Structure 1
Amino acid sequence: MTSIPAPIWLYDGVCVLCSGGVRYTLRHERDHDIRFVAIQSQEGRALAQAHGIDPDEPDSFLFIEGGLALAKSEGVLALARHLNGPVRLLLLGRALPKRWRDWLYDRVARNRYRLFGQKTSCDMPDPATRHRFTLPDSP
């Protein structure tokens, strides 16, 4: 039996909006299996570069699930499917054309530091969830 790898969220660890999203996800996720990788980490930089994202000027997060790397609005929708609570209303966005969703995503992403703030370093996860902030070792 082959196990399905846990989803991975590559996020901007110094972005206040992104870090808040990680905290929200930890409180509201359904299966408690998402792995979180800050783009500022060594493994995050490598993962970003492997998927065509500049780790020094990230314009998107990635949500990697089932071997697919989903960026921008597709990544947001994939993440929302793993959550409970009001964020699931974002799933209604599937009714919009992808280019409209991505246009909106790009506006928020481009202005995220100005609108929400930027930290000087990534948050340290609490001991109970720290194991989920690294990628599992490859077999």
Structure 2
Amino acid sequence: MTDAKLPPFIQPGERVVLFDGVCKLCNGWVKFLIAHDPAQRFRLASVQSVQGQALLAWFGLPTEQFETMAYIEGGELLVRSDALLHILAQLPRPWRFLTLLRLIPRPVRDWCYDRIALNRYRLFGRHERCLLPNADHTRRFLQD
């Protein structure tokens, strides 16, 4: 894939996780990824950021209200349980064993994922604004 066909802000070979920056569950997921991705395979961007908004628009996804985590590798976009399982498969043990959940049919996995995603603010709360990354984690986030 040539650079011209890559989504904005993404360099060749990068893997990007888009997340809801005001969701407490989603921020916990990002902290988990930072802690359990010692190879730093993933770059991160909140859907509220300039980068996140550009990526959503590039893929033709809604930019006002986004109800799932997204995973981008090259020009491919995965969402919902497929995104989650693709990310887990690249983490070290024991986390990659959770990919056995792929044995569950996608409609069932996505239904479960959607129940959590659609109720995430009620279940886990939300921040008033996007949290900023710690200084030592800044390089993990997409930049201009």
Alignment TM-score, normalising by the size of structure 1: 0.87
Unaligned runs of 5+ in 1: none
Native 8 Å contact 1:15 1:117 kept in 2:
yes
Letter in 2 for 1:79: I
- Please identify, of 52-61 and 7-16, the stretch whose mean Cα deviation from structure 2 is larger: 52-61
Native 8 Å contact 2:89 2:97 kept in 1:
no
Q: Please give the alpha-carbon distance, in whole angstroms, between the structure 1 residues aligned to 2:119 and 2:58.
A: 25
Structure 1 residue 30: deviation in Å? 4.5
Structure 1 residue 4: deviation in Å? 4.7
Native 8 Å contact 2:40 2:140 kept in 1:
no
Are 2:124 and 1:113 aligned?
A: no
Deviation string 1:52-78 (CA, Å, 9 cap, x unpaired) is: 332221111110114311000100001
Match of 2:140 among 114, 120, 132: 132
Native 8 Å contact 1:53 1:59 kept in 2:
no
Unaligned runs of 5+ in 2: 3-10
Partner-residue secondary structure (3-state), 1:10: strand
Are 2:100 and 1:92 aligned?
A: yes
Match of 2:53 among 45, 56, 75: 45
Aligned residues: 135
Structure 1 residue 84: deviation in Å? 2.8
Native 8 Å contact 2:21 2:27 kept in 1:
yes
Partner of 1:73: 81
Partner-residue secondary structure (3-state), 2:78: strand
Misfit runs of 4+, over 6 Å: none
Q: Please give the alpha-carbon distance, in whole angstroms, between the structure 2 residues aligned to 1:31 and 1:84.
A: 9
Partner of 2:42: 34
Are 2:41 and 1:11 aligned?
A: no
CA RMSD, Structure 1 to Structure 2 (Å) = 1.9
**C-alpha distance 85-14 of structure 1, shift in aligned 2 (>3 A):** farther
Alignment TM-score, normalising by the size of structure 2: 0.84
Letter in 2 for 1:103: W
Match of 2:109 among 66, 82, 101: 101
Letter in 2 for 1:101: R
Letter in 1 for 2:104: L
